[in-house]
A and B are shown apart, each in its own frame.
Chain A
Amino acid sequence: MSDANSTPSSLVQSHDEVLVFPKGGNPSLTSNKWQVWNGSQDEGGLPALDLVSHGVLVPLVWWIEHHHEMDVIAKAKNGQIGVWFAADDDILKHAELIEAGKQYWPLVAAYFPLFRDGRSFSTAALLRERLGWTKEIRMIGDVLIDQLLQGARVGFDSFALRNDQDLGVALKQFDLYSVTTQNSWRDKRTLLDQTQ
């Protein structure tokens, strides 16, 4: 079911820095090397990657349409293209494409059109559990401090927070809990940890 919020014409602006929290590692800040592109704001097609030092995250719908084009393949092979999923993208319908993308994309991202729209939590969970995506998954869009913990547990390991968020406070979100009562990508529930 589609709604206007899922494929935004203008994207939520993120911080210059991105928070990374690898599984089994510690959260830290790093400079953001990926530009999120909505697939249409530059009429000439992909942003000019030669002019910038970062790669570009393209919308899944754009990738579906353009992934056979020579220059797109070239850039993808060069590790300069990743894909982001809109909240209403049914990624299971594109499992084969995502499987093929594993050889190109250094990371994928899932978009939160609004911080309280939890669809992309399920997207991340499916990417990890079902589609076997092992590389980075980035939380992008309306990403606020208080959604990070849930994101980290369902499968996200990098976080492009909305640009008004305090990164210092954000960094402290991941050690709020020392126990959990259900399994997640990051942890088994505490009881299973103890008994196995």
Chain B
Amino acid sequence: MYKYDNIDKTLVDQRVAQFRDQVTRRLNGTLTEEAFRPLRLQNGLYHQRHAYMLRVAIPYGLFNSKQLRTLANISEKYDRGYGHFTTRQNIQYNWVTLEDTPDILADLAKVEMHAIQTSGNCIRNITSDAFAGVAADEYVDTRPICELLRQWSTLHPEFAHLPRKFKFAVNGAKEDRTVMLCHDVGIELKKNVVGELTANIYAGGGMGRTPILGSLIKTELPWQLLPSYLTALLRVYNRFGRRDNLYKARIKILVKALGPEEFSRQVEGEWLHLQNSDDNFTQVEWDRVAKHFTKPPYKTLPMLTTEHILENVSEAEATAFTRWLERNVKPHQVPGYASVILSLKPHGTVAPGDATTAQMNAIADLADKFSFGELRSTHEQNLVLADVEQAELYELWQQAKKQNVALPNVGLLTDIIACPGGDFCSLANAKSLPIAKAIQERFDDLDYLFDLGDISLNISGCINSCGHHHVGNIGVLGVDKDGEEWYQITLGGEQGNDTSIGKVIGPSFYADEIPDVITNVINTYVNHRSEDESFIQAYRRLGVAPFKEAAYQNAKKKEKADAKSAGESV
């Protein structure tokens, strides 16, 4: 993985010093809270409901065991013994103090980490495929470009105060695991017919209040020209994006208002003047960065079949281990290796994506022992050991079980993406975590979950949609009605190559109704599915009607009961 050179080291150290000075000025009152707010946000420091929250960058989700141990130490020393992995592949701490933050950043800098631009109206941490460099379906390893873009965007002066936050995702595999179309800019890397690395650019996607999928605005852009093209794109957005209304300030609104063709034309007009500038990447820079993303010292190994892998597994464990192989182990580019997803969604979990100090330290040990000391964080809030020998999968599974990170629920109904919700976040209208827990408790039967197959369920505590409910097959959105917490259901969302925005099925529900509603929706799928038909396929075939009817079957009874008890005619 990428290793800082003197430039990176110096920059991150100087950033710590700059932020330390800003915190000092805030604490002595010479910097107002209003002026400090964007400064702290650009360093990942939020003020949440109860305390400060610090979001630490994990650029494109790649980190190592030493860094994870530092993250574990920080959780113990400055927080409450856990960290929370986010959908943008970052980790955040919920209980830090303003006073401690400069010291935390200094600790991070020692292991080549930082919190730069993990929040605020600037270019955010760039995300990518958690399996970049190892995925069997990959056509381009996105990591060198991601790293070059990380450097280009870090403390970019012109785009430090954009109309709103700005998120990049970079995909280079056949299957999109980045939700590319739901980003302000999606960069799809490909090789052209003569083998040159080029990018297709999608702009104007996003979730939140107005979910919109990105539009293709540029094809086959040579990789070297990404900085000049993206400068042109961001300059158009910076100058003409709306600033009068927070909810209409994202680039998706500008692209929609102008139309993708006109937006693209304006970007091209700007780019004409920039495309030959020395803003562009050079081969020297590529070489400097790409040498860190060479393959680890893989052994020459035979490709093992599942039968081989199961050879020495006891009968008592065979079923559970096979389940884990099916759900949590992914194919690899190199024979004899596999990638393993460690589930941070054990049933009854406090919060999807949480890892305790002890778990983080233990997972760092697993990375050292089984995967060249490297890790990935995923969009789905799990962790990945990307380079595991197939022959060691059984041993890894046994050790992962001891840490409660081996539940074979990856991609299943209980692999829930959820935001922190009203328990932590001051923006939230409703809680998310108890809903996630209640659903996991309701669907605690692994046999049943296995039978249901791939289903994504995403929960957001407010319209900002940090839990990405729009792209869940089943989405749950917390809404506020007259000071009460209600939950709205969307169906039909999907991430991946057929990324779709789910549709709201109707009026919202009470929190305690949600497990029943989900059960009814799931039962509808089970009752109507054809053989091998996934939930989303069945939904697309059947349409919303049967699911909607099932979802409201109890609600109707309840309405009637309420009406009767109130003495009204039904």
Query: Is B220 interfacial (CB 8 A cutoff)?
Result: no
Name A142's closest neighbour in chain B (CB-CB).
Answer: B35
Q: Which of chain A's residues have a CB closer than 8 A to the CB of B157?
A: 121, 149-151, 153-154, 182, 184
Query: Is A104 interfacial (CB 8 A cutoff)?
Result: no
- Is there an interface contact between B278 and A118, defined as CB atoms closer than 8 Å? no
Name B237's closest neighbour in chain A (CB-CB).
Answer: A122
- Is there an interface contact between A179 and B10, defined as CB atoms closer than 8 Å? yes
Q: A3-B243, A146-B22 are in contact. Are A181 and B159 (CB under 8 A)?
A: no
- Is there an interface contact between A116 and B14, defined as CB atoms closer than 8 Å? no
- Is there an interface contact between B160 and A144, defined as CB atoms closer than 8 Å? no
Name B153's closest neighbour in chain A (CB-CB).
Answer: A182
- Is there an interface contact between B7 and A144, defined as CB atoms closer than 8 Å? no
State in angstroms the CA–CA spacing of A130 and B154 once bound together: 24
The minimal Cβ–Cβ distance linking A19 to chain B, given in whole angstroms, is: 17
The minimal Cβ–Cβ distance linking B282 to chain A, given in whole angstroms, is: 8
Q: A129-B273, A191-B7, A195-B284 are in contact. Are A182 and B156 (CB under 8 A)?
A: yes
Count: A-B pairs, CB below 8 Å: 108
State in angstroms the CA–CA spacing of A151 and B160 once bound together: 10
Partner of B242, one of A1, A151, A169, A179: A1
- Is there an interface contact between B10 and A118, defined as CB atoms closer than 8 Å? no
State in angstroms the CA–CA spacing of A169 and B239 once bound together: 30
- Is there an interface contact between B239 and A191, defined as CB atoms closer than 8 Å? no
Name A149's closest neighbour in chain B (CB-CB).
Answer: B157
Q: Which of chain B's residues have a CB closer than 8 A to the CB of A5?
A: 243-244
State in angstroms the CA–CA spacing of A125 and B235 once bound together: 10
- Is there an interface contact between A169 and B161, defined as CB atoms closer than 8 Å? no
Q: Which of chain B's residues have a CB closer than 8 A to the CB of A191?
A: 7, 284-285, 288
Query: Is A90 interfacial (CB 8 A cutoff)?
Result: yes
Size band of the interface chain A makes with B: 35 or more
Partner of A188, one of B17, B38, B153, B278: B278
State in angstroms the CA–CA spacing of A16 and B438 once bound together: 62
Partner of A177, one of B14, B121, B278: B14
The minimal Cβ–Cβ distance linking B122 to chain A, given in whole angstroms, is: 9
- Is there an interface contact between B154 and A119, defined as CB atoms closer than 8 Å? no
State in angstroms the CA–CA spacing of A3 and B243 once bound together: 8
The minimal Cβ–Cβ distance linking A134 to chain B, given in whole angstroms, is: 17
Query: Is B313 interfacial (CB 8 A cutoff)?
Result: no
- Is there an interface contact between B160 and A118, defined as CB atoms closer than 8 Å? yes
Query: Is A190 interfacial (CB 8 A cutoff)?
Result: yes
State in angstroms the CA–CA spacing of A190 and B288 once bound together: 13
Query: Which 7 residue pairs spanning A and B have beta carbons closest together?
Result: A118-B161, A153-B157, A150-B157, A3-B244, A181-B151, A121-B158, A150-B160
Please name 30 pairs of A and B residues whose Cβ atoms are closer than 8 Å in the assembled complex, sorted by A. Answer: A1-B240, A1-B244, A90-B239, A115-B38, A116-B38, A118-B158, A118-B160, A118-B161, A119-B238, A121-B157, A121-B158, A121-B160, A121-B161, A122-B238, A125-B158, A126-B235, A130-B273, A146-B35, A147-B161, A150-B158, A151-B157, A153-B157, A177-B18, A179-B7, A181-B7, A182-B152, A182-B154, A183-B278, A188-B278, A191-B288
